A and B are shown apart, each in its own frame.
Chain A
Amino acid sequence: MLPGNTSRFLPALVTLMCVILMPVAGLAQWYGPAGNTFEYGQLMDGRPYDWAARTGNPAMMRISHYGDDLQMAILFDDQSGDFRRFIDPNRHASYTIRASGSKTVGDRQLFLGSFGFRRTEYHDWQWLSTRFYEEAHPFLKADSTTGLSRYNEIVFTGGYAIELRPGWNAGVSLYYMVDEGLKDVAPKPLSTHRDFRFWLGSTYRIGSVEIGAYGGIDDREEELRYTEYEGAILEETVLINFRGYDRPIVQRRDRETRITRGTAWHYGAHGSWLLPEGLRLHAQYRGSRSALDIEEDITRPRKEGYTSSRSHQVESDLIWNRGGTMLAAGYRFTSAERWAEFQPFDVLMTDASRRMHRFVTGWSLHVTNELELGLEFQIANSDQSEDDYYSDIAWAVDHSDFGFRTGFTGRFNNRMNLTLHYGYLNRNASNIRLEKGQTGRFFNEYRRRDIDFMLSGHSIHEGRLTAVIRLAGHHELHIGLLAQQQKGHESEQKRRIITSSVSYRVPIP
């Protein structure tokens, strides 16, 4: 009996080991507007609800894989408008070219990889070329010039998954990104950024139950450099160092370097139960811890700040799927907290927390073989607060969200799938608290706008079109277009987002 037990539980033990050994990546979205992230939307793209992809576990790559292929994609993203924070650019545009491929070797091994190049432009952006302006808050840096910043970014990804035994999968994924950013106007600060991620995971199926666990680490580094720019020798560079929302430190320097190093640990576990009568139950936990260490002056380095974040997410979904009809209900809970330390004096600068409960329901129906309809609703309630001890400012707000999305997918002559969606989300703010103590004179000029943004409600309208055109030889052309408009309730300011993509897919026999 012992060997039998061992063979049954060893995969689970190895799965657990992955968590212990590799406890990171996506921090909770702290400040961005709540988007139309409907949970069961992928159903309407012609694929079943992709639980495997939602887990983020690299061992699930084999399960979510839909066939070997080569793809070439071009993506364009454009955002502009005044409904934004101070730390956001007025206009943001990015262009991406990406080549990717996947190949199954034998029946058990899957290789995936991609290479991409992205050019991003930030127009009228007062900030330096940092990618850490969410996580590094409040230790942010700006300069006195507003202009165009450009980034050139190269991304490599790789993944490998293997079925070690029937029902037991393991997988690893790698992500490597480097970029260089340059602000076009004097003093032309330069930034270099490097991200490396490694994830490891395992899953095991016991009868109708599939469990999995994973862990991962992020290692990131960024260097911002101000040098004495020859073309602007007669201009004075004014650097603004923030340590909170208020009281920025104004420095008149030609040369400055800021080095930011970050580490994040991710871990998670999930389970999926196939129940009778077409029912399936999913549950998962995701956690992360991350830390950022900020130093200034490369010749005489001195510590500036340290930030620490933690987040926990619990999700569960119950899905019923039978005879072309799908009904789903889900609950999500997110909890995140973070704090920032001014290292030279070992004092706490900010303390922030956020909790969110969200309920989602979805329904879809195959009216005919050529037509599928779908409808989803979500309600959410969240509370968010931050104490900025440095600026003597405290704020808190509760948000309640309501949203829906509806649309259809039609199939035409086996040559084309066309999907049209419309989504709406409304966020109301309540229990608003803003306490100001010994604030300085800059409060109204800079980051006051960021606080106002977070304390406001807004609405989002979204339209989406997806077309899949099947060509000869099973080649496919995918076209996607998303248009979104955000509007603040109080300010009535708007922001427009357009995302479009074209990809060409060649299946590998």
Chain B
Amino acid sequence: MKPCNDTNKNMVRTNLLPWRRTVVWLLPALIVLVPVLWIGCDDVVSQRSKPAFKERESTVVLQIVDESGTMEILHGHSGVDSARVQLRSNVHGTEHVYYSDGNGRVEVTGMLSDRYFLSISRPLQPSEVEQLSDKADENYSLVNRSMSSVEIRPGQDEPIVVPLELIFEGAPIVFSEIYASGPPGAGLYFFDRFIEFFNQTDSTLYLDGLVVARVYASAYLGLNFIDDPEFIHSKNVWKFPGTGTDYPIEPGEFIICVVDAIDHTINAPASFDHRGADFEFYKPDAPDIDNPNVPNMIMIYQDSGIDWLIGGQADALVLARTDTDNLRWRDDRIIIPYDDIIDGVEYLLNPTDLDRKKLNPRIDAGATGGINFYTGRSMERKVSVSPDGVKRLQNTNNSSVDFRINDRPTPQYHPDFE
């Protein structure tokens, strides 16, 4: 029996040997190969599960509440009724306008997912202001300063609470248009830039002594003063000439300040004839062009450049009434208190990228822009019409919704005011 068993074992061993060899060869090969390949495929894309919500299936409720207590006094609850809610998507180039119901609720349905710029305004009627202060005034509004954007997407079950603050909307003069990109088809020519101002009030105002400043930040040096609680910082400050009543701006009038008040169409056919401009930025310490027929802006401080210079694709500008005889400095920068600022506008190459802002949201909660160099486009404030039919330029302190892009600038006029 024993030899017989040995024979069987030998047969078994003989049968197994090739298998063992194979397994001995194959298993280490697999053990080595699989991790090597796994690592070699440096970014194996994970298999994600199918999303539970379909695009456009969103129903989002915005609850508009007044944090100033005004509505509580007037109506006995904090919900803001009849508020105009404007949602704008810079990605999709769409705008949606809603009005809140009696409880301050707005239901938004079927919108494309995006982070929308939000502009909410509820002007107080003079009679409402009178109830609060015994004086009828129409320049008070409830606006959303602290929350300038909202994410709209499917799957949001909870209402989004948007707080409003009471502001005095009395910016009498506003930036109405900024043209900084330069004309098309003229090489690197950009001396036809201009900024335009508009008198929002019913009274004659005076530009004398008002300051135009460019907000300073340096990505190269890592400097950004957006979070400064009191001041904007600037290395480019100019002021209007005059001693008090020399340069009036009539109600509804547009005035422009240009880099060079010459006929630019000679150098750039797609540009403008600025000889009729209201003011010219003339830099006396540089070989700058001066049109003697156009009043010059007065340079207070500009650390570089041969002419007044603003960013062609991104920048932030403010208009302020500040005491230029007693300017305050911090290092090599002039600082201007927020309280002195009349209006401010920021523009960015990518206006959705608010992380790159340099102007405090208290002055401008958003940004306009999205214009490349040498495209001849400008940024212009939109017109809003009050319930009683009065046209004004929209000023909710949020350039994301207040401004639009013009393919062709409109110096000294606004097409919607025709």
Contacts and interface: CB of A to CB of B under 8 A. Distances in A.
Interface stretch (B206-214, B220-228, B368-376): B368-376
Nearest to B14: A3
B243 interface: no
A21 B31 CA distance: 10
Contacts of B93: 249-250
Nearest to B55: A389
A212 B19 CA distance: 18
A141 interface: no
Nearest to B48: A306
Nearest to A289: B47
B48 A196 contact: no
B51 interface: yes
Given A217-B37, A292-B45, A348-B51, A390 B56 contact: yes
Interface string B138-151: 00000000000001
Interface in B344-381: 349-350, 370-375
A44 to B, nearest CB: 39
Interface in B11-47: 12, 15-16, 18-19, 22-23, 26, 30, 34, 37, 40-47
Contacts, number: 118
A162 to B, nearest CB: 10
B57 A389 contact: yes
A370 interface: no
A97 B92 CA distance: 46
- Majority secondary structure, A binding face: strand
Given A261-B43, A345-B153, A349-B55, A164 B22 contact: yes
A346 B45 contact: no
B154 interface: yes
B113 interface: yes
A293 interface: yes
Given A165-B22, A291-B46, A347-B113, A252 B370 contact: yes
B372 A252 contact: yes
A221 interface: yes
B41 A219 contact: yes
Given A217-B37, A234-B185, A348-B53, A291 B91 contact: no
A438 B96 CA distance: 14
A4 interface: yes
Contact of B45 (A236, A291, A342): A291
Nearest to B43: A261
Interface string A212-242: 0000010101000000000001101100000
A349 B51 CA distance: 9
B375 A252 contact: yes
B54 interface: yes
A392 B45 contact: no
Contact of B50 (A165, A170, A233, A348): A348
Contacts of A7: 15-16, 19
A6 interface: yes
Interface in A11-58: 14, 17, 21-22
Contact of A390 (B12, B50, B51, B112): B112
Contacts of B373: 233
Nearest to B34: A21
A426 interface: no
Contacts of B46: 291
A76 B256 CA distance: 63
B242 interface: no
Given A196-B41, A339-B50, A249 B18 contact: no
B184 interface: yes
Nearest to B113: A345
Interface in B140-183: 151, 153-155
Given A234-B187, A438-B110, A347 B51 contact: yes
Contact of B375 (A236, A341, A438): A236
A372 B34 CA distance: 47
Given A261-B45, A308-B50, A4 B15 contact: yes
A396 to B, nearest CB: 17
B184 to A, nearest CB: 7
A289 B47 CA distance: 9
A492 to B, nearest CB: 36
A263 B44 contact: yes
Contacts of B92: 247, 249
A308 B47 contact: yes
Contact of B18 (A17, A165, A254, A292): A165
B370 A308 contact: no
Contacts of A236: 372, 374-375
A377 interface: no
A439 to B, nearest CB: 12
Most buried by B among A217, A234, A262: A234
A253 B375 CA distance: 12
A170 B29 CA distance: 13
B278 to A, nearest CB: 30
A306 B15 CA distance: 51
A245 interface: no
Nearest to B353: A300
Interface string B324-337: 00000000000000
A427 to B, nearest CB: 31
Query: Residue among B56, B155, B188 with the most chain A CB within 10 A?
Result: B56
Contact of B371 (A233, A252, A346): A252
Contacts of B43: 219, 221, 261, 263, 293
A188 to B, nearest CB: 17
A198 interface: yes
A347 B399 CA distance: 29
B185 to A, nearest CB: 7
A219 B44 contact: yes
B12 to A, nearest CB: 5
Contacts of A165: 18, 22
Given A4-B15, A196-B41, A347 B153 contact: yes
A10 B16 CA distance: 11
Contact of A263 (B19, B26, B45): B45
A229 B415 CA distance: 35
Given A3-B12, A252-B371, A252-B372, A219 B55 contact: no
B362 to A, nearest CB: 26
B108 to A, nearest CB: 14
Nearest to A291: B45
Nearest to A261: B43
A293 B44 CA distance: 10
Interface in A330-360: 339, 341-342, 344-349, 351
Contacts of B184: 234
Contacts of B19: 6-7, 10
Contacts of B47: 289, 291, 308
Nearest to A263: B45
24 contacts: A10-B19, A21-B30, A165-B22, A196-B40, A196-B41, A219-B44, A247-B112, A253-B350, A253-B372, A254-B372, A293-B45, A339-B50, A341-B50, A342-B55, A344-B113, A345-B151, A346-B155, A347-B54, A347-B55, A347-B113, A348-B50, A389-B54, A390-B55, A390-B56
Given A252-B370, A341-B48, A344-B113, 20 more contacts: A7-B16, A21-B30, A217-B41, A234-B184, A234-B187, A253-B349, A253-B350, A253-B372, A261-B43, A289-B47, A306-B48, A339-B50, A339-B51, A341-B50, A347-B113, A348-B53, A348-B55, A349-B55, A351-B54, A390-B55
Interface of B: 12, 15-16, 18-19, 22-23, 26, 30, 34, 37, 40-48, 50-51, 53-57, 91-93, 110, 112-114, 151, 153-155, 184-185, 187-188, 349-350, 370-375
Interface of A: 3-4, 6-7, 10, 14, 17, 21-22, 164-165, 170, 196, 198, 217, 219, 221, 233-234, 236-237, 247, 249-250, 252-254, 261-263, 289, 291-293, 306, 308, 339, 341-342, 344-349, 351, 389-390, 392, 438
Closest 8 CB pairs of A and B: A219-B41, A345-B113, A389-B55, A345-B153, A263-B45, A348-B51, A389-B54, A291-B45
